[in-house]
Amino acid sequence: MTANTDVADVPKVDVARLAHSMIDLAPTNFTRDAMVGAALVLDTRENPLRLNLFASAIRIFLDHMMDALAPQEEVEACRWFRPVEGQEKPVRNARLTYALIGGFAAEQVEELTGIEVKPLIAEVIAAYGKLNKHVHGREETIVRDVDEQDAVVDTVLSALVELLEAQRDCRSEIVDAIADSLQSEAVEKFTTETVDDIDMLATHHTIDWVGIDERAVVGITAREVEYEITGLIGVTLLYGSGGDRARGDGAEIGDEFPISMRFKVPIEAPHDLERAEITSGVDTSAWFDNDDDNDDNDDRDTEAF
């Protein structure tokens, strides 16, 4: 077969290494398996069906990604969704858009993050179209030249990695813009309201400090964006009254516990925390685990005695 002159000027790219580097970008366990399969196929450069098997693996990856990240009912509930005449379900463009930005409008995401959604989606769809003709191999259509294979693979993986990185970066940019407000809301709530999970551990308690470790977008649906912050809260557990403790009959114990707080905010106003539905919690399970360990030690001491 004569080499395709269309690929003559394409820079050499180690496409197998590129595919392996994309495994951790896979959004689900099964899409990770599909990307592993695609990467392993690319390692076998002597395989005459290398491009065909890669195309099948990536098609599985994309189809499952859209199934997992773009449920039909959610896509159809988006403000931007418009049904396509003659199609019973959302088309690939709408499903990929939802997988990338959920219910956000493309213009809204561009304003919030600087990410241009529509060109990304168009590039992935074009790459998907290129793959389709290689999924079902025919003797007269198999591409045997490795450089030609790599040119097709590079186009597909480059488009896909841009989409997956944009999905990650989009969420990061959105939460970064509201990080200070999320932290302030969490600190105020934990320091000014009674925390029942801690209150049950002692007669009284004081909140000494609140530390926030991570902030993330954990979900974008057709109607809401959900943020989560996690960290630690430092407390002093007070046993007995002030007089009891002064006489040595009470106790003060300092400890710290993991905390989390979630904010569900309408998609049309993702930074308006006044409209947020907020849930929070403190994980005090370690306190009870320590009690169980102490009980076990007491039992062992008694048995040994």
| Residues 186-230: tens digit of each pLDDT | 888 888 887 888 888 888 888 999 999 999 999 999 999 999 999
| Residues 154-189: tens digit of each pLDDT | 999 999 999 999 988 999 999 998 889 999 998 888
pLDDT at 246: 65
Residues 6+ positions from 121 with CB-CB distance below 8 Å: 93, 96, 97, 100, 163
| Residues 35-69: tens digit of each pLDDT | 999 999 999 999 999 999 999 999 999 999 999 99
Question: Which tokens hold the place of 107?
Answer: 């213009």
CA pair distance 231, 281, nearest whole angstrom: 11
User: Rg (Cα) of the chain, in Å, rounded?
Assistant: 27
> What pTM was estimated for this model as a whole?
0.78
Sheet holding 277-282, edge to edge: 204-220, 224-239, 251-266, 277-282
CA pair distance 296, 283, nearest whole angstrom: 22
| Residues 246-273: tens digit of each pLDDT | 666 677 889 999 999 999 999 999 999 9
Helix axes 179-192, 146-176, angle to 10 degrees: 50
Task: Name the residue with higher pLDDT: 84 or 204.
Answer: 84
* Planar angle of CA 75, 79, 82, nearest 5 degrees: 65
Residues 6+ positions from 136 with CB-CB distance below 8 Å: 52
